[in-house]
């Protein structure tokens, strides 16, 4: 009935279009991101994939908060740590000139470490690691951060190729069958297969052919995830 009315009404169609287009794309994407994280947490629960949630690029901590909450709400029998890596007060930095991008600009995406720390003060299983990945976890550094934890979920949300590469190399020994790898901004840099988070992931799989992953789920505007089948 409603369909029939809407079918013949330019007014109703315009109204629907106006509502849909007035929601900012970043809001739609971020809702998709939250749903993606929820899905990954749930899959790791069903499949009994132990280990921590590792997020590279947490900004103000919203998606990290979503992970903590999604885990809490399902009364999981698995105890998990949640690791959040970010430069916080320093924002983006180009360690590689190929990372230059009109939206991901040096010095942008600054967040207050103190504020984010306060946001998670009630959660002892949340560990924040402040600093550029190139300084905190590159070249074999960072083993003291995760201790014996394996990785259940790896979320790469740092937009640029260089830090994404560093994050993937750090996480490599922590990957296991069932790890969900979430990659944000998968189609950035005009789709260039050598740049951005896609470039980093593509090269990572090429350099480590023993790691086999297959597509798990798409989300939001250009987010993608994979499930590790074999390491
Ligand atoms: C898109 S934001 C993350 C958004 C967050 N995941 C969320 O959805 O709430 C990207 C973050 O990556 C961080 N970042 C980018 N390159 C980095 C690097 N080399 N080292 C540390 N942090 C970096 C930026 O500081 C920024 O906070």
Q: Give residue-wise pLDDT tens across range 13-72.
A: 999 999 999 999 999 999 999 999 999 999 999 999 999 999 999 999 999 999 999 999
Q: Whose CA is nearest to atom 8 of ligand 1?
A: 63
Residue range 82-124, pLDDT digits in tens: 999 999 999 999 999 999 999 999 999 999 999 999 999 999 9
Q: Whose CA is nearest to atom 26 of ligand 1?
A: 59
Q: Give the pLDDT confidence score for residue 6 in this predicted structure.
A: 80
Label residue 2 by pLDDT band (50, 70, 90): confident
**How high is the mean pLDDT of the chain?**
96
Contact 113, 132 (CB under 8 A): no
Q: Give the pLDDT confidence score for residue 8 in this predicted structure.
A: 83
14 alpha carbon – ligand 1 mean position (Å): 37
Q: Whose CA is nearest to atom 20 of ligand 1?
A: 132
Q: Give the pLDDT confidence score for residue 5 in this predicted structure.
A: 81
Residue 67's nearest CA partner among 26, 34, 27, 44 is: 34
> What is the rounded CA–CA span in Å between residue 213 and residue 210?
10
111 alpha carbon – ligand 1 mean position (Å): 9
Residue 134's nearest CA partner among 200, 171, 88, 87 is: 87
> What is the rounded CA–CA span in Å between residue 126 and residue 86?
13
Query: Once rounded to an integer, what is the mean pLDDT over residues 152-175?
Result: 98
Q: Which residues does ligand 1 sit against, CB inside 6 Å? A: 33, 57-59, 62-63, 86-87, 91-93, 109, 111, 132-134, 157-160, 163
CATH fold label, 24-230: Rossmann fold (3.40.50)
């Amino acid at each position: 009935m409603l369909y029939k009315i809407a079918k013949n009404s330019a007014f109703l169609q315009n109204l629907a279009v106006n509502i849909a287009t007035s929601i900012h794309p970043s809001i739609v994407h971020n809702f998709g991101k939250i749903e993606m994280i929820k899905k990954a947490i749930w899959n790791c629960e069903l499949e009994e994939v132990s280990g921590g949630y590792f997020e590279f690029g947490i900004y103000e901590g919203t998606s990290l908060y979503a992970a903590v909450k999604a885990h809490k709400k399902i009364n999981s029998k698995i105890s998990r740590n949640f690791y959040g890596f970010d430069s916080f007060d320093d924002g983006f930095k180009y360690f590689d000139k190929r990372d230059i991008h009109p939206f991901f600009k040096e010095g942008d995406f600054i967040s207050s470490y103190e504020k984010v720390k306060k946001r998670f003060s009630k959660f002892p299983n949340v560990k924040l690691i402040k600093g550029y990945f190139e300084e905190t976890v590159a070249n074999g550094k960072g083993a003291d951060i995760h201790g014996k934890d394996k990785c259940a979920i790896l979320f790469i949300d740092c937009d640029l190729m260089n830090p994404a590469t560093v994050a993937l190399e750090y996480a490599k020994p922590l990957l296991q069958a069932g790890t969900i790898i979430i990659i944000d901004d998968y189609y950035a840099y005009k789709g260039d297969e050598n740049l951005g988070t896609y470039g980093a992931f593509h090269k990572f799989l090429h350099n480590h052919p023993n790691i086999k992953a297959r597509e798990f789920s798409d989300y939001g505007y250009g987010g993608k995830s994979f499930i590790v089948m074999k390491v």
